Every structure is written in structure tokens, then in C-alpha cells.
């Protein structure tokens, strides 16, 4: 990763909007692409990454920043919701089924995906990811409780549901690093500084 890379919404995981290398005028348009862009583009390791939604399905793309030519295009089974993040050679995205997914920045190959409790339709990540130093951060909340047999529930109690919380995963392989219970996430983008991760909960930051 280079100092001037933009790896998250508003440049970095803290969303400072500050570039380490200011642009020197005069500036001019080098190229343009007629693509329906659905996320803020990231610029990392010599590629421009973004998601697009079109008639032929949702896609994740990497362009050559010098020419605008496609370096790779990955067709997805779900649309990307919110912002992308980049860390340690991975492009990270939350799709609209609430799943956190990682793709190789080199060629777009899917690398891993994560759910809060490992079960589809039980829970969902509700924030887009942020990432830094080999760790991805995201917040989530429980989904609908699955139907259960009344007799089983009377005997064993209601089925467990995952708690609202903040989660950290390794960028390289998706292994969970930690999880903490938190007030219900609002869907706003988390932020990171040198020591803390901040998650908006709708009422207050956590």
C-alpha cells in the first residue's frame, strides 16, 4: 500500500478525507468510463476498485488508474451495500444479504465470506467494513428468530440469537479476532483511530 492510497470512504479508516500527497495543479481529465458506479472508488496498490450495478448483474471491478481499462471484472450474486474497504491485498465488501466478503485485489477471486453466526438469514452485518493493519471491523445485529417447535422451546427455552455487536476479522482469511456486545448498530460507517474503533448505534457512538 502506498501513502496516497484511498482505502476507505473519505480516504482512510478514520474517514479524515486527508491525502498524504496533495495534488499539484494544473489538473485535467485523463479518461472517463460510462459505468454505473454504486460505491465510492478506492485507489490502492496501483488499481481503482469499485462496485457497479447494471442490467447484466452486480459487479466488482478493478481499473488501471492511468488508462481506465479493466484489469479485472468479477460478477457477483448480490449487490454491494455501502462502501468498499481495502487492506492487505483484499477488497472487502458487504453485500445486500448482510454477508461480509473478501476478494483478491490482484484478480477479484473470492477469498472468504463471513456471517455473524454462520447461518444465512439469521443475522446480518449492517455496516460497511473498515480495515487496517490486517484486521477488518464491522458491526451487526440479529436477524429474525427462526421458527421452533413449541415443545422444544418450553423444554429448552427460546433459540439463541446473536447479540448486537462489533466484530473484528483477519483480512487474510476471515478468522474472527474478537467480538463484543454493543447497542444495536445503526448502519453508519465505523471509524478507526490508532487505538479504538467507533461504531454508530443510532443513539450514540460505542
Provide the residue ranges of all domains of the chain, joining segments of one domain with +: 42-192
Res 111: pLDDT: 97
Cα within 13 Å of Cα(50), Cβ side = 20
Contact 116, 123 (CB under 8 A): yes
Contact 142, 158 (CB under 8 A): no
β-partners of residue 58 are: 53
CATH, range 42-192: 2.130.10.10
Res 175: pLDDT: 93
Res 3: pLDDT: 46
Res 173: pLDDT: 95
Count of other CB atoms within 10 angstroms of residue 168? 16
Rounded distance, CA 170 to CA 196, Å? 16
Res 150: pLDDT: 57
Beta strands 165-170; 191-192: pairing state: unpaired
pLDDT by residue for the chain (206 residues), tens only, comes to 454 676 666 556 655 556 667 778 888 888 998 888 888 888 888 999 999 988 889 999 999 999 999 999 999 999 998 889 999 899 999 888 888 999 999 999 999 999 865 455 555 677 788 888 999 998 876 555 555 555 555 555 555 544 577 889 999 999 999 888 776 655 677 888 888 888 777 655 55
Rounded distance, CA 127 to CA 135, Å? 15
Question: Taking Cα atoms as reference points, which of 143, 179, 137 lies closest to residue 159?
Answer: 143
Coil vs helix vs strand at 104: strand
Amino acid at each position: 500500500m502506498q501513502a496516497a492510497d484511498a482505502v476507505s470512504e473519505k480516504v482512510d479508516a478514520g474517514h479524515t478525507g486527508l491525502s498524504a500527497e496533495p495534488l499539484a495543479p494544473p489538473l485535467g481529465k485523463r479518461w472517463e468510463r460510462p459505468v454505473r458506479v454504486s460505491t465510492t472508488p478506492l485507489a490502492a496498490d496501483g488499481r481503482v476498485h469499485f462496485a457497479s450495478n447494471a442490467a447484466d448483474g452486480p459487479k466488482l471491478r478493478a481499473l488501471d488508474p492511468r488508462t481506465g481499462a479493466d484489469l479485472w471484472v468479477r460478477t457477483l450474486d448480490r449487490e454491494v451495500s455501502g462502501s468498499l474497504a481495502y487492506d492487505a491485498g483484499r477488497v472487502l465488501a458487504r453485500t445486500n444479504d448482510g454477508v461480509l466478503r473478501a476478494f483478491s485485489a490482484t484478480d477479484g477471486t473470492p477469498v472468504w465470506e463471513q456471517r455473524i453466526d454462520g447461518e444465512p438469514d439469521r443475522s446480518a452485518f449492517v455496516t460497511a467494513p473498515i480495515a487496517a493493519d490486517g484486521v477488518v471491523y464491522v458491526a451487526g445485529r440479529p436477524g429474525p428468530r427462526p421458527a421452533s417447535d413449541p415443545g422444544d422451546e418450553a423444554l429448552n427455552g427460546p433459540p439463541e440469537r446473536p447479540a448486537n455487536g462489533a466484530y473484528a476479522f483477519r483480512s487474510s482469511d476471515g478468522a474472527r479476532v474478537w467480538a463484543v456486545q454493543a447497542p444495536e448498530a445503526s448502519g453508519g460507517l465505523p471509524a478507526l483511530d490508532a487505538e479504538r474503533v467507533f461504531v454508530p448505534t443510532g443513539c450514540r457512538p460505542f
